[in-house]
Chains A and B, each alone.
Chain A
Amino acid sequence: MRATFGVQVLVAVVILTLVTYVGWIVLDNVFYRQQAQPIAFPHDLHAGQRQIACQYCHRGVNHADIAGVPSVQECMDCHQAIPKLLKESVEVQKLKGYWDRKEPIKWFKVYQLPEHVRFSHQAHIARGFDCAYCHGQVQEMKVLKFPWTSAWWHSPGTMGWCLQCHRDNKGPQDCSACHK
């Protein structure tokens, strides 16, 4: 029995949706989202328990587009003053290893925007937005995760989410405001 044209189109749409889903969500998570960091840095300990301000390490947020990560030297500035951790913590020993070798740490980037998007931390912080508004409750995360919501297509970092926020807060809404 030959399928009608409508069924063929339906099958094609379903296949295309499946392919897109597999490519966009599954592969993306398998290959790009689940990598372990070279050092298991606990944000919950630093930003939560110790209440260290985000800007203490991410110095660029108030001044530049890029928030930036601290240098190994800056990490060691604090950690060399805590000998107990240097002796006992495997992760801190990893950090010291990088410092001793004067080797840069290549982190896996969790909050990644597409290359065609222009984003300025400075502009958003200057408007009074809290870091958690986009990044989620980092101070509660042992392992940093992207703040996906159940409606993944409307999570922070997606275009719909950005645009809605710009509408709500009267931010610029022309294409070139965000797209290169």
Chain B
Amino acid sequence: MIVNRRELLKVGMLTGATAALAGCARTSEQAFVSEALMPEFYLPGIAQWYATTCNECSAGCGLGIRVIGGRAKKVEGIPTHPLSRGGHCVRAESALQALYNPDRLVAPWQGGAKSPDADWNGALKALTAALEGNGPALWIAGTLRGATGALITEAARRMGARIWLLDFPGTRVERAAARANGRLPWLDIASADYVVNFGSDFLGTEDNSVNFNWQYGQFRSSPTRRVRGILVSFASRMNLTVSNSDRWIPTKPGTEGFVAAAVGNLLASKHNKPGMPEFAAGITAAQAAKKSGVDEKWIHRLAEKLAEAKNPVVVGGYDNAAYTNGVWSLAVINALNKVLGGADATYEPDLVLPVKGVGGNPSSLMVSAKQALDGLKAGTYKTVMVSDCNPAYQLPAALNVGAALQKANTIVFSPYINETSGVAKWTLPTTSFLENWDDAALDGPVPVYGVTQPAAVPRPGSMQLGDVLLLAMGKKPAASMRELVCGRFMKDPNDLKSEDRSGWLEILERGGIWKDASLSWEPYPSGPSAPPPPPANRVTADPPNGVSPWEDLLAAVPSRPEDAVFDGSGEFTLLPYPSPIWEDGSLTNRPWIPEIPDPVIQVNWGSWVEINPRVAERLDIHRGDLVTVTSSAGSITLPAVPSPTVHPQLVAIPMGWGHTSFGRYAAGKGVNPMSVVTPVFQDETGEIAYAATRVTVTKTGQKGTLISYDQRYTSTAHRHLEE
């Protein structure tokens, strides 16, 4: 077609005129809405703040949720909260993305898939039938605390189920080693002057990390003591806490207990500080040095420093608990703490709070991982309930938990579809804690009784786990979680109906009840920037008597030193570790989370394997090379990161990636190290020893995708260094 100049001009002008007309017209939103119902105190554009208790881990930090127009917009800490003291972590910050996640379920799923026939009536009918009890049953719970914990306990009791608390990896081991009715040692790092870390990541992954971060700040720069505390770490991997140490002495995997035992024995023999138990006896500095690969002089120096220190504290954690000798190692570390005069206090963040006699003590119902998995494998459990966890993903693939759950009548409570709901008979959509009523008590030097109140209206089609259980149990002992929680905080429930509800409102404003006088550390600095003091103690009710699910956990600490045992004959020990950001993978479906680089390795958006640079050089492995990690359970291929943060005998892979069914944001990212972890159980606790797998690492010859915030290793600067 030939277009002449006149036609071209006509078309051009017409186009220009149309564009100009469209551009001149207003396109902005010209509607606004009268809500049908609006809270009395609500003003458009003005934020409301709701105080609540975080449920992202068992610490129970106080959170203030900023809400505008009925939408939760921002998570902040509550400055007056005695535990978190105004702080909060990245997990709490990303809670909004659990609330508004586009992959949230809006209706029950049946048979592992979306079904037009599945609705809440059918789901509740199935749940009610299951609660009536049809043979042996198992309840796999990710958390068990507060009022919801009491209702889970009651439901489990009614259906004759055992409870498997599939908590953070290593929790059961740490509690068994503590040997104080399962209570954890309360570490007073704030007033310590010398801290020895044997593999804990108390600044990152361990429970209560927000409080520990505050304590760490005090420890390093206490304004009153004017003494900078010293932190020394003996560990096989540099985690976030180890990276903050003044000195890191790398140890062979699973040998930290020997160093602690030798130090304890030196304190007794040379520094007049006896008290190490029998199970640590006889280990000399030379033996410990041989076992751990640590120079003997460091062991002697550590004993001297600890003897000189006024307030020394010794810490153990997941990197000890993950080995088969975890109970022994942690028991030795705890004993060393006792010898040094620290860790007298204990605390319990996971208290189940029975409601009007309902629930009771769950500790008699608890089973270990081994007992539960044996039962699942044998098909003993006819009904399996799963709440707040994802066993088909987070356990070693070799256990084939998914297939076992598929055989049973499995009911999953989850806000999203995940690997476990894919094999369940029913998946019931539950809510985020930002939509829930609940309570949580922490018993310890800083007793806190926190209230969880909703900051947002529950998403249509989903229901709080507690409310679901109350409905299934005939609305007893309360019609709803709101009624249950409100009633519990009041001495007289009728007070809620009275005009003067100031006591209850004050609790809601503060986020719970605590006795300010119980604070063992320094108060806030005074001055104009200091937050206002907490309101006067107009507490309406005393916290209920909580019970610990771990009370009956009496682990027998080995009578003699125990070496870590490994499965396989590979050159390296594999340490799959939970991240301080995405934990064990339960948070990788929140879009902010994959964006945040690992604080030590600085890689994000996927998996990697950390390998010592000297070993990598020997194997001709460079940064970003795809390597295959193989064990007797299987193999995975992922990019390598040669890093001085791991011992030459260790390779480390973060947990949490490689989901096959966990929404759009977790899809297609990384690999799951559980594919190569062989299921080895600890004798004392029946817990899975996550770091008991020997692996080989082989180069594939291909380059992988490694997205890193820190490009130093691949930048020109690095090339200059090489030259």
B17 an interface residue at 8 Å Cβ cutoff? yes
Give the nearest-CB partner of A103 in chain B: B36
B34 / chain A contacts, CB cutoff of 8 Å: 69-72, 75, 104-105, 107
Residue pair B44, A60 in contact (C-beta under 8 Å): yes
Q: Is the interface of B mostly helix, strand, loop or mixed?
A: loop
Proximity bits, A86-130, B CB within 8 Å = 1, else 0: 000000000000110011111111001011000000000000000
Compute how far the CA of A20 lies from the CA of B46 in the bound complex, rounded to whole angstroms: 38
Residue pair B45, A19 in contact (C-beta under 8 Å): no
Residue pair A64, B45 in contact (C-beta under 8 Å): yes
B22 / chain A contacts, CB cutoff of 8 Å: 23
B530 / chain A contacts, CB cutoff of 8 Å: none
A9 an interface residue at 8 Å Cβ cutoff? no
A160 / chain B contacts, CB cutoff of 8 Å: none
Residue pair A27, B37 in contact (C-beta under 8 Å): no
Compute how far the CA of A68 lies from the CA of B34 in the bound complex, rounded to whole angstroms: 8
Are A69 and B28 also in contact (CB < 8 A) when A60-B44, A102-B37 are? no
Q: How far apart are B534's CB and chain A's nearest CB, in angstroms?
A: 26
Compute how far the CA of A15 lies from the CA of B21 in the bound complex, rounded to whole angstroms: 12
Residue pair A22, B36 in contact (C-beta under 8 Å): no
B716 an interface residue at 8 Å Cβ cutoff? no
Q: How far apart are A144's CB and chain B's nearest CB, in angstroms?
A: 13
Contact count band on B: 20 to 34
Proximity bits, B9-35, A CB within 8 Å = 1, else 0: 000010001001111111011111111
Proximity bits, B45-56, A CB within 8 Å = 1, else 0: 110000000000
Are A107 and B32 also in contact (CB < 8 A) when A63-B46, A64-B44, A112-B26 are? yes
Give the nearest-CB partner of B25 in chain A: A27
Residue pair B21, A73 in contact (C-beta under 8 Å): no
Residue pair A23, B20 in contact (C-beta under 8 Å): yes
Compute how far the CA of A66 lies from the CA of B37 in the bound complex, rounded to whole angstroms: 18
A108 / chain B contacts, CB cutoff of 8 Å: 30-31
Are A32 and B33 also in contact (CB < 8 A) when A60-B44, A60-B45 are? no
Proximity bits, A9-28, B CB within 8 Å = 1, else 0: 00000011001101110011
Residue pair B36, A107 in contact (C-beta under 8 Å): no
Compute how far the CA of A64 lies from the CA of B45 in the bound complex, rounded to whole angstroms: 6
A74 / chain B contacts, CB cutoff of 8 Å: 38
Proximity bits, A32-59, B CB within 8 Å = 1, else 0: 1000000000000000000000000001
Residue pair B37, A73 in contact (C-beta under 8 Å): yes
B717 an interface residue at 8 Å Cβ cutoff? no
Compute how far the CA of A75 lies from the CA of B35 in the bound complex, rounded to whole angstroms: 11
B43 an interface residue at 8 Å Cβ cutoff? yes
Q: How far apart are A143's CB and chain B's nearest CB, in angstroms?
A: 16
A15 / chain B contacts, CB cutoff of 8 Å: 13, 17
Residue pair A19, B17 in contact (C-beta under 8 Å): yes
Compute how far the CA of A67 lies from the CA of B44 in the bound complex, rounded to whole angstroms: 7
A114 / chain B contacts, CB cutoff of 8 Å: 26, 28
Contact of B35 among A24, A31, A65, A72 (CB under 8 A): A72
Residue pair A22, B45 in contact (C-beta under 8 Å): no
Residue pair A112, B43 in contact (C-beta under 8 Å): no
Residue pair B36, A102 in contact (C-beta under 8 Å): yes
18 A-B Cβ contacts within 8 A?
Answer: A15-B17, A19-B20, A27-B21, A31-B25, A64-B43, A64-B46, A66-B44, A69-B32, A71-B35, A71-B36, A73-B38, A74-B38, A75-B34, A102-B37, A104-B34, A106-B33, A112-B28, A114-B28
The 7 closest A-B pairs by CB, nearest first: A23-B24, A68-B44, A71-B38, A64-B45, A66-B45, A105-B34, A66-B44
